[in-house]
Amino acid sequence: MPSIVSDPAAWRKQRAALEGTLGFVPTMGNLHEGHMALVRRARAENDHVLVSIFVNPTQFNQRADYDAYLRTLENDVALLGREGVEFVFAPDEKSMYPDNYEMQVNETVLSQQLEGKFRPGHFQGMLTVVLKLLNIAGATRVYFGEKDYQQLMLVKKMAEAFFLPVEVVAVPTVREDSGLALSSRNGRLTPAQHEKAVLLSQLLQSAAANDAVAQKLDAAGFKTEYVATEWGRRLVAAWLGDVRLIDNVQAKGE
């Protein structure tokens, strides 16, 4: 089973004693096969692997969404153990925010559109906690999935801007057989909603124009926030009931 560390200073001491490369997978827990794809890539490319599990309060726009996020630490650790992960970093909020979130990372261009427009403050919270985690982890490489594509771009931009000594590795989105992108939020869908959610990826990959995709999603019972083509990707965010879903695919002709 993985060794669980909760204190940042204790992990940094342990990291200093490790020889070789370290692959790092930051997560908020409630792990699924998408996370396991990141873990397996990290295992294949590094001597050691660290996975963090921390439900970061500063990147949630709604307190109810934060409260509803499933905490499954015992099961997560068991899954990681079966994948050969050696170390789990599972801090509490006080350890991660001893300054009460008075210090924040703020990007001023890329973060203002799409997700940033509909989730003000989300990227500040995400970038701030990722910078903290990277400083604590001391990783050679850090692994992010492409499903949160705008997040991935921002992490890469931050790493370059702040000269962080870590390689940011992108891993393709893992999907169900139906095509639905795996997400921890999928577990909050009812069976009927889960079946309907497949439309999201089907329409995203169709030849229909962005406006037409949004109209079809709304007609099917979604509440669409955006369907847009940016950065060589076609991206969507839409609510289904009280669950917010996002996805992206390579844009046609890119």
User: CA-to-CA distance for 135 and 42, rounded, in angstroms?
Assistant: 18
User: CA-to-CA distance for 35 and 83, rounded, in angstroms?
Assistant: 11
Q: Which residues pair with 196 in a beta bridge?
A: none
CB 148, CB 154: distance < 8 Å: no
Q: In what order do the strands lie in the sheet with 233-240?
A: 223-230, 233-240, 243-250
Other beta carbons within 10 angstroms of residue 221's beta carbon come to 14
User: CA-to-CA distance for 118 and 37, rounded, in angstroms?
Assistant: 28
32 is catalytic: no
Among candidate residues 32, 35, 48, 194, the one labeled active-site is 35
Measured in whole angstroms, the distance separating CA 109 from the mean position of its chain's CA atoms is: 20
The burial of 96, by beta-carbon neighbours within 10 Å (0-12 exposed, 13-18 middle, 19 or more buried), is given as buried
- For the record, the structure tokens of 59 come out as 């990147």
Ramachandran region, residue 128 (left: φ > 0; alpha: ψ -120 to 50; beta: rest)? alpha
- The CA-based angle 8-134-120, given to 5 degrees, is 105
- For the record, the structure tokens of 17 come out as 């004693």
Active-site residue list: 35
